[in-house]
Chains A and B, each alone.
Chain A
Amino acid sequence: MRVAVITFPGSNCDDDCHYVFGDVLGKETVSVWHREVSLPTGLDVVVLPGGFSYGDYLRTGAIARFSRIMSAVADFARDGGTVIGICNGFQILCEAGLLPGALIRNRSLRFICETVSIRCETTGSILTQKLQVGQVLRVPIAHAEGCYQLDEGGLQRLEDEGQVLFRYCAPDGTLDPAANPNGSKRSIAGVMNAGRNVFGMMPHPERISEKVLGGVDGRALLEGLVGL
């Protein structure tokens, strides 16, 4: 098992992902600079970490998707490789067309950092295989642009194909507009592609993977990803 964490200029959760996949989960983890033209060989998982690639001065992820490494990531995904984008990584995957939809400014127009409840919507993916449908996780978010947007037809296709991974919810699992922190359509917090190998989520599982940081709800996801 080999994991690569991509660093774009402005990525700031790359060290965190490297630490959690490498030290906490004990998997071989390599760093890849965005200017590389190819990914290291023998990779199983590619991680696009959170942060502010290129400062997010244009649309989030809009410049990073043109980074040299992104065509290698797209090839890797097309060949069935596992790719996960967390927060800014999710935004980049949407911009790159590897995931459907887009992420716009939070409804409040403010940055929001806090631990929220999300509900697992499917166990039909390696990311969520260790969960139960309807299971509620407590996972931190930290973003200014996490409001998920997609046209109605696209949303219906996501629902029909079971591509919605998580929705923001109340602590008891019910869907409640007040528990949707950023105004996302249908409270969506994470989605996957039709091939079920490319994942994007705004919450940060790597921030809640050790007991000392307040819980291990995120760890179950990452363990699923690396086959633990």
Chain B
Amino acid sequence: MQDPTITPEMVEEHGLTPEEYERARRICGGRDPSWPELGIFSVMWSEHCSYKSSRVHLKRLPTEGPRVLIGPGENAGVVDIGDGQAVCFKMESHNHPSFIEPYQGAATGVGGILRDIFTMGARPIASLNSLRFGMPDQPRMSHLVTGVVAGIGGYGNCMGVPTVGGEVQFHPSYGGNILVNAFNLGLVPSDGIFLGQATGVGNPVIYAGARTGRDGIHGATMASDSFDDEAMEKRPTVQVGDPFTEKCVLEACLELFAQDLVVGIQDMGAAGLTCSTFEMADRAGTGIALDLDKIPLREEGMTPYEILLSESQERMLLVCTPDNVDAVLEIFEKWGLSSVVCGEVTDNGRVHVTHGGQTVVDLPASPLSDEAPVYDRPQAEPDTLSERRRLDEAQIATTAPADDLLRLVASPNLSSRRFIYRQYDHMVRLGTLVGPGGDAALIRIVGTDKAVGMTVDCNGRYVWLDPREGAAMAIAEGVRNLACVGAEPIGATDCLNFGNPERPETMWEFSEAIDGLSDACTALGAPITGGNVSFYNETDDEGIIPTPTVGVVGLVEDIGDDWANPSAAFVADDHIVALMGDPAGETLGGSEYLFTLHGQTAGVPPRCRLDAEKAVSTLCRTLVRSGQVVSAHDVSDGGLLVALAECTGCHEGAVKIGASVSLTSSESRTCALFGEGGARIVVSYPAEGAAAVEAAAQSHGVPWLILGRTGGDRLAVDVVAAGEGASIDVAVSDLYTEWANGLVRSLGL
């Protein structure tokens, strides 16, 4: 078949600007690229692969720390946990494919992040996910929720990797662009980390795993574009997942690593064979000669263009020494997988690809990444920002706090997620100490006294109203959640979901968010070790609220025989209930109360008080680890009253303990009950330990407010606030019923 002659229209269809095409011609040594080469430039310089709009900003993130072994740039970051072990983790988006085909989009999102982790030599031990949907009554939304959840479960369950937590939020701005962000964490020996480098001139290059088909061609380019009415026609660019094959690839790779048979390895994710070949050569400063006639194909007649750009799943590219080839092929054969030597590492710095004896690609490896376009795009503060931040609190005051509480706990954003996590195997691998429903997941490292905490967080409403503070708050909330399970932060990954970067307002939001993340990560000791940027989350010119999701990872080093797993809910009658942290600074701006009960995303959101966050989280994890507090739950979405509801009736524990609480506030009663502010945690503890706990709070300089006592089967709250007080008295069983059924009811399932 004759390759077409390249025209300006084809260049445009490949998402390249005329300037970028000129740059491509320069890299080609002044000639026009071949047809497959044009495809390669298109995917390698797509926003998704090249980070061309974000790179100048990402540099401002802190990426170093005492425990960081591998930072951004490899397939995933790696952080030391001591005694020769390390954890490898990353979060990635699969937003666009999941909107088009929810089951396969979400499933292959999980498959992709798992490959990133085990490519590094790690065994994946826990997954999380962060999902955003439009409101349940928006078109297709119930179908998208059920499809995404089934896809995540379908892939992760089969892989035998537990899905141990996550978050799901609903907001109308996601109605045309849902977000599916998948996080995975693996365990790796700190001297057994593998990198995606094609080192050793003359070493064979091996292709392994699934055969290459025509699926997913130009997936990365699709992910770098906005949607319009024709989005559904992009269905053929969505990949199809085969978790069974990936499970076999995982086990085969771990056997290769254990026998030290691999020099370098990389999975074929976005941009498939192209991206892995160029990146492996670039990182090693070598070249690769590739023979496409050797690639196992699913169908006949595939062109070089299709073979190079296919995003078929469950495929790996690896380099070994010549004397290990037979051993490598034998292990893949044991697991029933195809593997074949398809090329060789060369010393000329070029990627040279042949097909049927003809050269189809001949490009220098490094310039494709080094000389990829980098844009410092214009930024402008949105002129609607002051409008967004306007809020007349008197207009939205609560008139019936108990009714408002019941409606809040039944709302899509706050109700029980059991319908979702019940579809995820969250117990396999015997590590889950705290699973779904906890503030953070806590996974023991079997065979040690260590456990790893992990959480994903972001409140997009805060970020939309104040990107810098909102992004910082995502990290702060993650650190607070870890503190509730006793874990100290050791690293973080980010998954930055934004609209169209060619809009100055989006770039301003992005840049502000990076600064917020940077401040919070530095202050709270959670360096960013890798992540992902997803732009163009926009349909028919409507963008999402900016959503820089973060995954924060923490460590507990001393789980002994007398360790009791931390609880978010109250555990026994007659314990003291206290609020750790200063309630000052709480506000209804951006709050769940304002959104759910008044349909507004408005006001000035809470400021992120990093000093207070640090003090509160340090104290909390100390008291949780020592067992001096027996429950700890972070006050976040919905404010103090919702947090108390979650400690009493709104949880899946077998025993539900009520509480009687009283509170004095200089704020309005609406703000005192439902205001959000960060740096606060509700704890409970036996009265006999009170003196020691309060002394610890004093020595940490953390305000400590005794709220009341646990006990009974009702949540009773007396508040004395500026203006008027309130008495709330709700049966714990009523709270549970509303909370437990809310999500399923709103989705109409």
Contacts and interface: CB of A to CB of B under 8 A. Distances in A.
B430 A19 contact: yes
B429 A16 contact: yes
Contact of B446 (A9, A19, A35): A19
Contacts of B654: 171
Given A10-B248, A52-B247, A212-B433, A113 B158 contact: no
Interface stretch (B207-215, B417-425, B666-674): B417-425
A52 B244 contact: yes
A66 interface: no
Interface in B230-261: 242-245, 247-248, 251
Contact of A51 (B160, B421, B447): B160
Contact of B427 (A23, A52, A55, A204): A204
A111 B244 contact: no
A115 B697 CA distance: 37
B430 A57 contact: no
A113 B247 CA distance: 20
Given A9-B336, A12-B159, A54 B430 contact: no
A133 interface: no
Given A111-B153, A213-B433, A13 B428 contact: yes
Contact of A10 (B247, B432, B444): B247
A159 interface: no
A112 interface: yes
Given A9-B247, A55-B244, A213-B433, A113 B426 contact: yes
Contacts of A213: 427, 430, 432-433
Given A9-B336, A10-B248, A114-B422, A52 B433 contact: no
Interface in A17-33: 19-20, 23, 33
B430 A207 contact: yes
A56 interface: yes
B294 to A, nearest CB: 25
B150 interface: yes
Contacts of A214: 565
Contacts of B335: 9
Contacts of A19: 430, 446
B270 to A, nearest CB: 24
A178 to B, nearest CB: 14
B129 to A, nearest CB: 15
A112 B430 contact: no
Contacts of A113: 157, 421-427
A57 B153 CA distance: 15
A140 B427 contact: yes
Contacts, number: 90
A125 to B, nearest CB: 25
Nearest to A52: B158
B563 interface: yes
A22 to B, nearest CB: 11
Contacts of B559: 212
A9 B427 contact: no
A110 interface: yes
A112 B423 CA distance: 5
Contacts of A114: 422
Given A56-B158, A111-B157, A206 B422 contact: no
A10 B517 CA distance: 40
A12 B124 CA distance: 12
B427 A207 contact: yes
Interface in B449-488: none
A16 B147 CA distance: 29
Given A12-B428, A207-B430, A110 B244 contact: no
Most chain A beta-carbon contacts within 10 A, residue among B150, B247, B336, B428: B428
Given A16-B430, A56-B158, A212-B433, A111 B423 contact: yes
Contacts of B433: 212-213
Interface residues of A, number: 34
Contacts of B336: 9
Most chain A beta-carbon contacts within 10 A, residue among B251, B335, B425, B433: B425
A172 interface: no
A12 B429 CA distance: 8
A98 B150 CA distance: 32
A122 to B, nearest CB: 27
Most chain A beta-carbon contacts within 10 A, residue among B153, B244, B336, B427: B427
Nearest to B159: A12
Contacts of A50: 428
Interface in B553-572: 559, 563, 565
A142 B446 contact: no
Interface string A138-168: 0010101000000000000000000000000
A23 B421 CA distance: 29
Given A10-B248, A55-B243, A113-B424, A212 B563 contact: yes
A75 interface: no
A36 to B, nearest CB: 12
Contacts of B444: 212
B423 A110 contact: yes
Contact of B425 (A15, A35, A142): A142
A51 B156 CA distance: 11
A113 B587 CA distance: 38
Interface string A77-92: 0000000000000000
Contacts of B334: 33, 35
A1 to B, nearest CB: 21
A13 B160 contact: yes
B244 A15 contact: no
Contact of A110 (B150, B159, B245, B429): B150
A207 B150 CA distance: 23
A66 B1 CA distance: 44
Contact of B157 (A15, A140, A142, A207): A142
A55 B243 CA distance: 7
Contacts of A54: 244
B422 A112 contact: yes
Interface in A159-191: 171
A55 B249 CA distance: 13
A140 B422 CA distance: 11
Nearest to A140: B427
Contacts of A171: 654
Contacts of A16: 428-430
A112 B422 CA distance: 5
Interface in A49-81: 50-52, 54-57
5 contacts: A12-B428, A33-B334, A57-B244, A142-B427, A213-B427
Given A142-B425, A213-B432, 13 more contacts: A9-B251, A12-B159, A12-B428, A16-B428, A19-B430, A20-B430, A52-B243, A52-B244, A55-B247, A111-B423, A113-B425, A113-B426, A113-B427
Interface of A: 9-10, 12-13, 15-16, 19-20, 23, 33, 35, 50-52, 54-57, 110-114, 140, 142, 144, 171, 204, 206-207, 210, 212-214
Interface of B: 150, 153-154, 157-160, 242-245, 247-248, 251, 334-336, 421-430, 432-433, 444, 446-447, 559, 563, 565, 654
